[in-house]
Amino acid sequence: MSRTPPIGKDDATMLDAPRTKEAAAKYRYRRWGGNPAGTKYDPERCAYEVWEKGRGCLSYQCLRKKGYGPDGLYCKVHARKFKEP
């Protein structure tokens, strides 16, 4: 099975997700013991931080195109996490 797993209920929720361009620019991805400074935000991509399945503490910035959600910072899929009930 090589298909990409869909984003489901087991997808880790980003807790302090940035809602403005300024907050996203300060956000660092893939922060862990061996890389405390993390990885800089790429303004061309969705600002959501995604955790690698099965590797626990490793994360990366979502690879999808942005344009949805708060300040247009997120992809279509992750923008759903910001929907007001």
Residues lying near Zn ion in the complex (CB under 5 A) are found at 46, 48, 62, 64, 75, 78
User: Which CB sits closer to Zn ion, 15 or 34?
Assistant: 15
Q: What span, in angstroms and rounded, lies between the C-alpha atoms of 36 and 29?
A: 10
What count of other Cβ atoms lies within 10 Å of the Cβ of residue 46?
24
Residue with smaller CB distance to Zn ion, 26 or 80: 80
CB of 67 to Zn ion, least distance (A): 10
Of 9 and 34, which CB lies nearer to Zn ion in the complex structure? 9
Reported as type and span, the H/E element at residue 39 is strand 39-40
Closest approach, Cβ 54 to Zn ion, in A, equals 20
In this structure, what are the phi and psi dihedrals at residue 30, rounded to the nearest 5 degrees? Answer: 55, 45
Q: What is the DSSP string of 46-69?
A: ---EEEPTTSTT-EEE--SB--BS
CB of 25 to Zn ion, least distance (A): 17
